[in-house]
Amino acid sequence: MDYARLTYLFEQYEKDTASEAELDELFAMLDSEADREALLAYFEKSMREAVPEVLADFEKWRPVIAKIVAAQSETPALRRKNRWWRYAAAAAITLLVGVGVYYVAFYRKETATIVENTIPPAGDVPAPATTKAFVTLADGSRIVLDSVANGALATQGNAQLVKLADGRIAYQGTGGEVVYNTLTNPRGSKVVNLVLADGSTVWLNAASSITYPASFTGNAREVHITGEAYFEVAAASGLLPGGKKGKLPFIVRKGHMQVQVLGTRFNVNAYDNENNIKVTLLEGSVQVSSTQAGKPETLRPGEEAAIYPNGTLKVVGNVDTARTMAWKNGYFDFNNADLPVMMRQLERWYDISVTYQGEMPRIIFKGQMDRNVQLTDVIRFLNIFNIKASLQGRTLTITGS
């Protein structure tokens, strides 16, 4: 196979400048049974070597191959009896994008060693298909959301807890006695969505919880979280301290961290086993403070505050908010993550335990991965890059050198 020619044809296809003759040539190359092994070997070798310079070229090819697959589906003239090229393109996408819809790229300082015999996974752990979330009411009783029908679930103070037709839970009602509920989304559970009594909406990642009043009273709206939550806060008016009427602040607390807002969109990553708490602002304005730090910091959209265990608060700008929101949009984001960071995300999502034997593999990840894949697909992909991973029950063991 003439790889230089194939590269050229892909580039022409990507820019929509390929002639009819070049399109025929490209499809013929992908359709050629004789080129099957060479094409797959080429993609696989490039991914296994996986140095950043090569990845830059291959990331450019990813949407091109996807377009070719779409063209095959939509253009009757291209529906040939021999559909090898379609499977080759799909295989190429798998190698380029990792396991799932988006790409996952791996690189090390040294060239990755090709693993000839991967470790076959025992059993499987599927991605969460349902939510295991439950609401703990003021009297300590629990409502498991997946096991109840739509409609009214409970009365809490002046508010009514209801399950909406789209599966979300919501509180309806204002004022009255302050009654607290907790929504818990355990490990191995799909993202769950909550509408608070003031109209604010919260999404909870797996292994997360939020404690909140069933209806808001007083001169502030305050909630407490663990894990990771994304907020879309509704503006609300009421009596402020001193008796003046104005916009009521919305306050999110986790340990010594506090986020105060009026109406905005932001994400809080506050897992106990991560190195710091991160507050990322997408829209509006938030004030982040720590009881152990100095003055609070006000974030602008695209900025992120990190609060460390010693109370230090640091702000960085121009963050990739799409990376922050990957979990809510159905993806893992592994950009610049090492193996332990990746494994902690897998533990929470698949409800597994990860153990390590031997020296920890030194590897950095780049890219995103669909969160709907089976755990064994992730294991097979790790094995390709000489990360020895084996699954027994719900324990994933990473074996180093």
pLDDT of residue 380: 77
* Domain match, 196 and 238 both: yes
- DSSP per position, 62-125: HHHHHHHHHHHHH-GGG--S--HHHHHHHHHHHHHH-SSSS-EEEE-SSPPPPPSSPPPPPS--
- Can you give the residue range of the structural domain that contains 36? 3-97
Contacts of 32 (CB under 8 A, 6+ apart): 84, 85
Mean pLDDT, range 206-227, rounded to an integer: 95
As given in the structure block, the two tokens for residue 325 are 């929101």
Is the pLDDT higher at 289 or at 113?
A: 289
* Residue 371: inside a domain: yes
* Domain match, 351 and 224 both: no
* Domain match, 50 and 182 both: no
If you ran DSSP here, which 8-state letter would residue 390 be given?
Answer: E
As given in the structure block, the two tokens for residue 161 are 């807890």
> Is a pLDDT exceeding 50 seen at residue 88?
no
Instruction: Kindly state the percentage of the chain with pLDDT values over 70.
Output: 73
> Is a pLDDT exceeding 60 seen at residue 187?
yes
As given in the structure block, the two tokens for residue 388 are 């020895």
Q: Which of 46-60, 84-98, 112-126, 270-284 has the highest mean pLDDT?
A: 270-284
Mean pLDDT, range 75-88, rounded to an integer: 39
* Residue 187: inside a domain: yes
pLDDT of residue 43: 53
Is the pLDDT higher at 349 or at 47?
A: 349
Residues facing residue 390 across a β-bridge: 397
> Is a pLDDT exceeding 50 seen at residue 149?
yes
* Domain match, 179 and 42 both: no
* Domain match, 343 and 364 both: yes
Confidence of residue 14 (pLDDT cuts 50, 70, 90): low
Q: Which amino acid is at 156?
A: Q
CATH of the domain at 339: 3.55.50.30
pLDDT of residue 54: 38
Distances in whole angstroms, Cα of residue 186 to Cα of each of 132, 223, 297, 327, 359: 7, 18, 31, 15, 31
Backbone angles phi, psi at 81, to 5 degrees: -60, -45
> Is a pLDDT exceeding 50 seen at residue 83?
no
CATH of the domain at 254: 2.60.120.1440
* Domain match, 255 and 164 both: yes
CA pair distance 73, 15, nearest whole angstrom: 20
Domain tally for the chain? 3
CA pair distance 25, 394, nearest whole angstrom: 48
pLDDT of residue 3: 64
Q: How many other CB atoms are there within 10 angstroms of residue 164's CB atom?
A: 12
Strands 169-172 and 192-195: parallel
pLDDT of residue 20: 81
* Domain match, 30 and 144 both: no
Task: Among 97, 116, 144, identify where a domain stops.
Answer: 97
* Residue 103: inside a domain: no
* Domain match, 352 and 276 both: no
* Residue 108: inside a domain: no
* Domain match, 171 and 232 both: yes
Confidence of residue 324 (pLDDT cuts 50, 70, 90): very high
Continuous H helices in 139-263: none
If you ran DSSP here, which 8-state letter would residue 127 be given?
Answer: P
pLDDT digits (tens, 9 = 90+) for 150-175: 999 999 999 999 999 988 999 998 87
* Residue 109: inside a domain: no
Burial of 300 (0-12, 13-18, 19+ CB in 10 A): exposed
Is the pLDDT higher at 25 or at 395?
A: 395
Average pLDDT across the chain, whole number: 79
Are 83 and 33 in contact, with CB atoms under 8 Å apart?
no
Task: Among 324, 342, 357, identify where a domain stops.
Answer: 324
pLDDT digits (tens, 9 = 90+) for 222-278: 999 999 999 999 998 887 777 788 889 999 999 889 999 988 999 999 999 999 999
Task: Among 52, 80, 97, identify where a domain stops.
Answer: 97
- Buried b / exposed e over 234-265, threshold 16 CB at 10 Å, is bebebeeeeeeeeebbbebbbeebbbbbbbbb
103: left (phi over 0), alpha (psi -120 to 50) or beta: beta
* Residue 118: inside a domain: no
> If you search the block for the tokens 């950009």, which residue do you land on?
335
* Residue 202: inside a domain: yes
pLDDT of residue 147: 92
Task: Give the torsion through C-alpha atoms of 108, 113, 118, 124, to 10 deg.
Answer: 0
- Helix then strand then coil, in percent of the chain rounded to 5, is 25, 30, 40
Confidence of residue 41 (pLDDT cuts 50, 70, 90): low
Mean pLDDT, range 95-120, rounded to an integer: 37
> Is a pLDDT exceeding 50 seen at residue 19?
yes
Are 379 and 390 in contact, with CB atoms under 8 Å apart?
yes
Are 251 and 259 in contact, with CB atoms under 8 Å apart?
yes
Contacts of 40 (CB under 8 A, 6+ apart): 88, 91, 92
Contacts of 354 (CB under 8 A, 6+ apart): 343, 344, 346, 347, 395, 396, 397, 398
pLDDT of residue 279: 97
Instruction: Kindly state the percentage of the chain with pLDDT values over 90.
Output: 46
> Is a pLDDT exceeding 90 seen at residue 194?
yes
Confidence of residue 30 (pLDDT cuts 50, 70, 90): low
* Residue 125: inside a domain: no
pLDDT digits (tens, 9 = 90+) for 352-373: 999 999 887 788 777 778 888 8
